[in-house]
Copies of this chain bind each other. A is one copy, B any other.
Amino acid sequence: MHGLTKKAEAPPWAPFEDRRRARDEKRDAVLRMAVQMFLDEGYHRTTLNEVAARLNITKPALYNYFRSKEDILIECYRLGQDMFEANIAAIERESGDGLDKLRRLIRAYAQVMMTDFGMCLVRLDDRELSTEARAGVRKAKRTYDAAFRTAIAQGVADGSIAPRDPKLATLVITGSLNWIGQWYRPDGELSAAALADEFALRLTEGLAARKSRSRNAERGAR
């Protein structure tokens, strides 16, 4: 019996890993509490003392996980951005005509907008952020807009969407979607999925290109 391997099962990093995980969990708890309070009361009316109190700790303890109040806000934005980006990127990879893609974009975007971190991006004022952080957030927002614009442009090109200015059409659609973050409450009558479907339906019911004989002939001809 070598003294070396008395109980070789548990890897020696386990405690470290445990600790790191416990730390991350606490960090996440701070973030979840903070985002809720930011959304409920507004960023600047939410004090770090209150956030800490609701977590049964005191303010300086927060500084073990975040460097500043703005740092907390930045992380909220980042979590929201990650959700949008993951969903949008997945849809852009899929196949389908422009109209289909647009419908999927609407559904996905609407659903993310009904989550706490998702609505961060439209409910919280990014002017609270430093110039650099704000630039990052705005750049991210522009990429989401671009996804809608290209889907619409593609739809107009492939004949699935009746001709229109993709930029204006995007303003109409994303406005409606962004505003969801202002009124959605999880305790409403309709589920998030049902609402997302409704928005996908209503925001595209006027877009489909008429399947006129001439257009069909045109498409069949090439």
Contact = CB atoms under 8 A, between A and B. Distances in A.
A41 to B, nearest CB: 7
Nearest to A165: B198
Interface stretch (A27-35, A55-63, A179-187): A179-187
A42 B127 contact: yes
Nearest to A190: B168
A45 interface: yes
Interface stretch (A64-72, A90-98, A202-210): A202-210
A107 to B, nearest CB: 14
A192 B44 CA distance: 33
A210 to B, nearest CB: 11
Contact of A202 (B41, B128, B206): B206
Number of copies of this chain that the complex holds: 2
A220 interface: no
Nearest to A41: B127
A177 interface: yes
Nearest to A204: B206
Contacts of A169: 202
A175 interface: yes
Contacts of A178: 175, 179, 182
Given A179-B179, A182-B178, A172 B44 contact: no
A204 B128 CA distance: 37
A125 interface: yes
A173 interface: yes
Nearest to A127: B42
A176 B172 contact: yes
A50 to B, nearest CB: 15
B42 A172 contact: no
Interface of A: 41-42, 44-45, 125, 127-128, 164, 168-169, 171-180, 182-183, 198-199, 202-207
Closest 3 CB pairs of A and B: A206-B206, A175-B179, A205-B206
8 contacts: A42-B127, A168-B202, A172-B199, A175-B175, A175-B178, A178-B182, A202-B206, A205-B207
